[in-house]
Structure 1
């Protein structure tokens, strides 16, 4: 299984989270510079022209790009605090590579996130309910950062639902 992991805006995939993901497959975690442009799905995928990703996982800005990539390649996504409500929907429109059906998404939102407003994300998702199978968990005490134990729990649950 090939896992595309996309880090957030001033972040990287740390060794502990990489080890958790490596239990499920080969991890591709590009080092992305978001300073010039936040939405970069085409640039990210261009780095892997011969790689078929089975799942997409992202956090914050990486979750935003992961949402778009998941739609484009038709693969499931696990998204932590994606800032979906901050950008115009036109920026999300990419030609899908596959038309095999909806790409299911599992989201974890922090109720106390002071970086990405979970209400904006929920509003965006409610406006696009016909587009995806969604599973949304809101942790009322969670801020923007995802603690290791919660990351491990969500990753385990996400992969337990897949038939790979």
Structure 2
């Protein structure tokens, strides 16, 4: 199983979080400069042609990008505080084709996130909900924008449980 992990703006996947992910899948985590390249989406689609991603995860700006990639290649995704309601920089992304949506998306939101407020994301999801996609939303009241390894691990484990259930159905 191949997993694409997309880091946030001016961030990277930490070795501790990579260790968590590698328990479940082969991890592809490209370094991206969202500020200088508005065509990250096209680059990621090219990477998909090379690696055939089975799952996608992303945080913040990476969560934004993971949402659109997942909805283009029909792939389940785990999104941590995704920058969907307001993104800090411009990226060229396509319209979502409702025929290509994944079966499952899991969102993890921080109740104390001052960068991407949970209520803004919930409102965005309500206004942009894709009717063919099952969505799981976890709101951690104590969580800010940064995701501690303990919460990251808990949510990754839950995501893989959901993926296994999808395979059984």
Structure 1 residue 128, shift from structure 2 partner: 2.2
- Unpaired stretches in structure 1, ≥5 consecutive residues: none
> For residue 134 of structure 1, what is the aligned residue in structure 2?
135
In the superposition, the TM-score normalised over structure 2's length comes to 0.86
Specify whether residues 71 and 15 from structure 1 end up closer, same or farther in structure 2 by C-alpha distance, changes over 3 A only: same
More helix by share: 2
> For residue 59 of structure 1, what is the aligned residue in structure 2?
59
> For residue 31 of structure 1, what is the aligned residue in structure 2?
31
Specify whether residues 43 and 100 from structure 1 end up closer, same or farther in structure 2 by C-alpha distance, changes over 3 A only: closer
CA distance in 1: counterparts of 2:82 and 2:39, whole angstroms: 12
Runs of 4+ in structure 1 deviating by more than 3 angstroms, as ranges, are 99-103
Query: Cα deviation per residue 1:6-26 (whole Å; 9 max; x = unaligned)?
Result: 000011001111111001111
Structure 1 residue 36, shift from structure 2 partner: 2.6
2:137 equivalent to 1:145: no
Structure 1 residue 103, shift from structure 2 partner: 3.2
**Contact 1:39/1:65 (CA < 8 Å) preserved in 2?**
no
> For residue 2 of structure 2, what is the aligned residue in structure 1?
2
Equivalenced residue count is: 161
Specify whether residues 7 and 158 from structure 1 end up closer, same or farther in structure 2 by C-alpha distance, changes over 3 A only: same
> For residue 80 of structure 1, what is the aligned residue in structure 2?
80
2:114 equivalent to 1:114: yes
Query: Cα deviation per residue 1:34-81 (whole Å; 9 max; x = unaligned)?
Result: 113567322222234222111000000000000000100101000000
**Contact 2:101/2:132 (CA < 8 Å) preserved in 1?**
no
In the superposition, the TM-score normalised over structure 1's length comes to 0.88
Specify whether residues 35 and 3 from structure 1 end up closer, same or farther in structure 2 by C-alpha distance, changes over 3 A only: same
